[in-house]
Amino acid sequence: MLELRKVNSENYEECLNMHTTDTNLDFVDSVAWSLAEAWVFYDDSRPFAIYADNVMVGFVSMYIGENNPQIINFMIDNRFQKRGYGSAAAKLCIKYLCEEFNARRISLPVNPENRTAQRFWSNIGFKITDDMEDGYLYMRLYIPEKYV
């Protein structure tokens, strides 16, 4: 069973040990950076550890401010990639943002050179936009009203 658990005093150290593959190092922020960012933007950030059957397999940080829900940093630890956790966890993030924040549109930044991430998120249903911010290309998912 896959689930999102809040990062807290019991799991943050294990979370800090999450790492992406070497090919993604230039594209994914470290968990330490993401947790620091979540602390600074405390009211609008939601950092989660991703668990599969009580084993931490990844990390995600979401932003919920300004009525603009976003998946900011998403990673499956290199030890657990290629097992389907990424797609399942991405869908959990979408479900969370829809149920908890009534999201009708979800955005996420990707490096324009990160074709792997663009394909991954496109397979989930996100569309590439022309919006660029701070060097990131934004992808968006529009949620049909029947799912909100």
Range in 13-22, 48-57, 122-131 the model is least confident about: 13-22
Residue 22 has pLDDT above 80, yes or no: no
Cα 11 from chain centre: 18
- Structure confidence at residue 146 (pLDDT): 59
- The tokens for 11 are 């799991």
* More confident of the two residues 25 and 111: 111
Q: How far apart are CA 90 and CA 49, in angstroms?
A: 12
- Structure confidence at residue 63 (pLDDT): 92
Q: Read off the pLDDT of each residue in 8-12 and give the average, rounded to a whole number.
A: 91
Q: What is the tally of helices (H) and strands (E) in the chain?
A: 4, 7
pLDDT digits (tens, 9 = 90+) for 38-92: 888 888 889 999 999 999 999 999 999 888 899 998 999 989 988 999 999 999 9
49 near 56, Cβ under 8 Å? yes
pLDDT digits (tens, 9 = 90+) for 90-126: 999 999 999 999 999 999 999 999 898 999 999 999 9
Q: Where does the pLDDT of residue 128 fall: very low under 50, low under 70, confident under 90, or very high at 90 and above?
A: very high
- Structure confidence at residue 41 (pLDDT): 80
49 Cβ contact list (under 8 Å, min separation 6) = 4, 5, 6, 7, 11, 14, 15, 56, 58, 59
Structural domains of the chain, with CATH: 2-105 (3.40.630.30)
Q: Read off the pLDDT of each residue in 119-141 and give the average, rounded to a whole number.
A: 93
